[in-house]
Structure 1
Amino acid sequence: MVDNHRDVVIIGAGAAGLSAGLVLARAQADVVVVDEGKPRNAPAAHMHGFLSRDGVAPSEFLAKGREELARYGGDLIGARVVEATRADSGFTVVLDTGAIIHARAVLVATGLTDELPEIEGVRERWGSEVHHCPHCHGHEVRGRGLVVIGGEVLAGTLHQAALLRRFSNRVTLCPHRTDVSEDDRARLRAFGVRIVDGIVTRLVGDDSGGGRLIGVELADGSVRECDAVFVAPRPCPNDAVLRALGCASDDVTGWVAADATGATSVPGVWAAGNVINPRAQVITAAGQASATAIAITAWLLDGDVTAAAVRAETSGQERR
């Protein structure tokens, strides 16, 4: 199946992709959104910090977004992109279903993958009793026993430990394999954060299995009791499509670079959400993508007006 008449193909149907699709569809763009159905926040029961949508289940939020996209004529295809290339008149995107989509512009909103520490129980409890964002989940565990496990992103670990102290007076930092300086230790202790050294080996449930979380076990066999755990996983952007299309990277971060509108170094290729911004929450990703969609609309419109002017000039010359 070949689809030759799309203005924009959006890859990723999370908050960013659906938000952009909605804005573009309302602006009368012919838009299709492709998504393989693996949202980053799927394990979470609720999302927070999104005005008017606080406490909504991520699945409910996305279902509503898909419904709104369809209402304005936007299409959604459940598939995975296996190839993306530049073509003479735009871009060609091949799906694992065999479908081939040609589009004038591409917006990549594929998010990121959280690289979790290899500690028994972390992955199994991810999104329920193990979290990464105090802004997203700190309020729900206020006043409870909290353990922060040091991760690869030291700044993220230190920020978690300090910020969670606002929510509870029972916050413990287990540096794990993270090298926390004496200065940072002194600052955290002064703020009321306990620090317990040692390698974390596993999370402990109330039945020594998969029951309610009761603590974090260290290599010496001791257990630090807690009700919730926070980690700072390494964010890995799902940017294979952007790389395949030749988009340049930021010299400092190594992530694909995009300007304030979401435009990359390749004309016609745009990006929004966590694929270029690891700090973007749901509401941030949606807002950024809305602005990107408006920029894409202007880019498409400029091309249409220019093409019309060329046709008119050519027609006038022929009549003369």
Structure 2
Amino acid sequence: MGVSMYDDLYDVIVIGAGAAGLTAATMLGRSMRSTLVISQPRRRNSPASSVNNVPYADGAAPADIYRKMEQDAGRYGVTLLWDEVTSVRAYEDHVVVEGGANPGLRCRRLLLATGPRRRPAGLAAGRCLGQIGLRLPLLPHVRT
């Protein structure tokens, strides 16, 4: 599915479709926030045959867990976009996320769920709330 800079302003764009990103996106969707998840399809633990220390899924294959998480997120209106984020630009009232196939995606809040090693170009540490997101005006009922 193509998404362009002419689409509506998302409440939140989540970068990363691992367990943390999909969990956050599902909760945002359940809270009636327009949410887009952007991620490369290969996750860090994709090659693993099973996962451990995951409640109710110990020993399950990562692909099975992610498939269920993606379905759950979709039930709450979350959109998934398989693309690489190439840069992020923050403005006073919104963020622009650019990717290989979809430049100019706009959101009010950015949630970075890529793990400790990956950070898109333009996302300086000083503009982050830890590894969570950019400082922008808060959405009602959403805490950072």
Place the TM-score, normalised by the shorter chain, in its bin. Answer: 0.7 to 0.9
Within-5 A mapping of 1:69-80: 69-80=73-84
Q: Which residue does 2:113 correspond to in 1?
A: 109
Q: Which residue does 2:119 correspond to in 1?
A: 239
Q: Which residue does 1:56 correspond to in 2?
A: 60
The 1:13–1:263 alpha-carbon spacing in structure 2 relative to 1, beyond 3 Å, is closer
Write out per-residue CA displacement over residues 131-152 of structure 1, whole angstroms, 9 at most, x where no aligned residue.
xxxxxxxxxxxxxxxxxxxxxx
Question: What SS does the aligned partner of 2:126 have?
Answer: coil
Question: Which one-letter code corresponds to 2:22 in the other structure?
Answer: L
Question: Does the alignment pair 1:267 with 2:106?
Answer: no
Within-5 A mapping of 1:1-320: 1-2=4-5, 3-112=7-116, 237-241=117-121, 244-248=122-126, 258=130, 263=132, 266-268=134-136, 299-301=138-140
Q: Bigger relative contact order, structure 1 or 2, given CA contacts below 8 A and separation 6+?
A: 2
Write out per-residue CA displacement over residues 144-186 of structure 1, whole angstroms, 9 at most, x where no aligned residue.
xxxxxxxxxxxxxxxxxxxxxxxxxxxxxxxxxxxxxxxxxxx
Percentage of pairs with the same residue: 27
Q: TM-score, normalised by structure 2?
A: 0.85
Alpha carbons 1:91, 1:102 under 8 Å: kept: yes
Question: What SS does the aligned partner of 2:29 have?
Answer: helix
The 1:81–1:24 alpha-carbon spacing in structure 2 relative to 1, beyond 3 Å, is same
CA shift for structure 1 position 49: 1.1
Distance 1:257 1:89 in 2: 16
Alpha carbons 1:22, 1:68 under 8 Å: kept: yes
Question: Which one-letter code corresponds to 1:267 in the other structure?
Answer: R
Question: Which one-letter code corresponds to 1:239 in the other structure?
Answer: R
Alpha carbons 1:8, 1:106 under 8 Å: kept: yes
Q: TM-score, normalised by structure 1?
A: 0.40
Unpaired runs of 5+ residues, structure 2, are none
Distance 1:104 1:257 in 2: 15
Distance 1:98 1:32 in 2: 12
RMSD: 2.3
Dislocated runs of 4+, deviation >3 Å: none
CA shift for structure 1 position 257: 6.5
CA shift for structure 1 position 36: 1.0
The 1:6–1:73 alpha-carbon spacing in structure 2 relative to 1, beyond 3 Å, is same
Question: Which one-letter code corresponds to 1:300 in the other structure?
Answer: L
The 1:107–1:89 alpha-carbon spacing in structure 2 relative to 1, beyond 3 Å, is same
> Whose helix fraction is larger, Structure 1's or Structure 2's?
1
Give 1 or 2 for the bigger CA radius of gyration.
1
Question: What SS does the aligned partner of 1:103 have?
Answer: strand
Write out per-residue CA displacement over residues 62-99 of structure 1, whole angstroms, 9 at most, x where no aligned residue.
11110000001000001011111012421000110034
